[in-house]
Amino acid sequence: MMELAPKPTDSPAEAGIVTELFPRSLESARIGDEGTDEWMSRRYAVEGDRIVRLNLITTITGATSGDDGTSESITSRTDRYVLGAIRRASDVVVVGAQTVRIEGYLLPKTARLAVVTSTGDLGAGKLSAAGREDRPPALVLCPQDRADLVRHALGDAPAEVVPLPTDGERLTPQTIVAGLRAKGFGRIVCEGGPELATQFVEAGVVDELCVTVSPVLEPARQPFVRLTERVETRVAGMLVDDAGFSYLRLRVRG
């Protein structure tokens, strides 16, 4: 189940120290120490109230999941702190239904959750409000003509259906972003999976990519984004930890 809280571990692969390489401050923080959340939040803060971010993890071979089929086996404790910082700087977290089915999702502690689907199939029990009953339900974004089907499929899942117009079979990233902004969500982060991430990048709606690179040689069944042409970016920030993970912020050049 996708969660923000760092999970304690005795594994040496779990980082203890994270260091900022760009901008070249070389400041460090110890994961788990008081003040580290605030330190990380400053590195992932955004200016203004309108931004679309993409937040994903990939191995150095381009895989987005490990041998268990989820991102849990390629992530790190530092990455969970990064995830928390990005979500705190966001109004809404956008994910595809397939990601919910594979990873499982708890309602976030801060940002609202929005799930993109055409069928309402989120997997039995994969979307949960356990311990978060005070949080608003997830927004389920779907094509207008499938709203009734989606409501029926969701059953008693903690969700609110938001029908949106379509241009063909599926919702476009432009429609998703416009629909969320119409509901007052200006700071948007998409957490994938790869198919939705690719759609967002190729549609040109992404302002910044937050990419965790895991030092793992994992077979890449599907790259974290499958592009048809190069997207020009510049490095806005870079962290590394003592487990060999790197954490990039890439601004898309307009």
Rounded-to-integer distance, Cα 33 and Cα 112, Å: 27
- 10 has a pLDDT exceeding 90: no
Q: How would residue 5 be classed by pLDDT, with cut points 50, 70 and 90?
A: very low
Across the range 34-46, mean pLDDT stands at 97
Q: What is the CATH number of domain 52-68+77-252?
A: 3.40.430.10
pLDDT digits (tens, 9 = 90+) for 131-145: 899 999 999 999 999
Q: Which of 105-109, 126-130, 218-222 has the lowest mean pLDDT?
A: 218-222
Rounded-to-integer distance, Cα 184 and Cα 248, Å: 28
Compute how many other C-beta atoms are within 10 angstroms of the C-beta atom of residue 157: 20
pTM for the whole structure: 0.92
Q: What is the CA radius of gyration of the chain?
A: 18
The whole-chain average pLDDT of the chain stands at: 92
Rounded-to-integer distance, Cα 80 and Cα 232, Å: 27
- 51 has a pLDDT exceeding 60: yes
Would you state the pLDDT for residue 6? 38
The 3-class SS string of 29-75 reads: EECCCCCHHHHHHHHCCCCCCCEEEEEEEEECCCECCCCCCCHHHHC
Would you state the pLDDT for residue 15? 65
Q: Look at residues 230, 235, 239 and name the one whose alpha carbon lies nearest to residue 251.
A: 235
Q: How would residue 223 be classed by pLDDT, with cut points 50, 70 and 90?
A: confident
Would you state the pLDDT for residue 12? 38
Q: What's the token pair of residue 251?
A: 């601004």
- 253 has a pLDDT exceeding 50: yes
pLDDT digits (tens, 9 = 90+) for 152-174: 999 999 999 999 999 777 899 99
